[in-house]
Amino acid sequence: MSRIAILAFGIVASAYCAPFTDPFRPPREMEGPVAGASAPAGPRLESVLIAPDRRIAVINGQQYSEGATFGEGRVLRISETEVVIRRQGRDEALKLYPQDVKRASGSPDEGR
């Protein structure tokens, strides 16, 4: 009986001590600036949802669909990797991923 109790205690204790990481967290190269670093001014595209019946973009924590008003502009287009906003007669593309992120070697898109 004491062996079972010790085994159960060991399993529970190891679960609380293990440094689990989030498997869905992007690599550090793709994360935004760390706290204290100067963040870029202006809107930031955080997420995109594309379904057969709708397209939604999360910009600065708020959801927008195509044609929605964004500040003094309007969301023109939502694609898999960017959102185009027209403000003051100019089109501005918000990218989901920064331009300077390099793909990991051995990625499926390598060599295309």
Q: Where are the domains of the chain?
A: 26-31+42-95
pLDDT > 70? residue 109:
no
User: How many of the other CB atoms lie within 10 Å of CB of 57?
Assistant: 27
How many Cβ atoms from other residues are within 10 Å of residue 87's Cβ?
A: 13
pLDDT one-digit tens code per residue, 64-78: 999 999 988 999 999
Q: Between 51 and 101, where is the model more confident?
A: 51
What b/e readout covers 67-84, taking b as 16+ CB neighbours within 10 angstroms? ebebeebebeebeeeebe
Answer whether CATH 2.30.30.830 is correct for domain 26-31+42-95: yes
> What are the tokens at 57?
């973009």
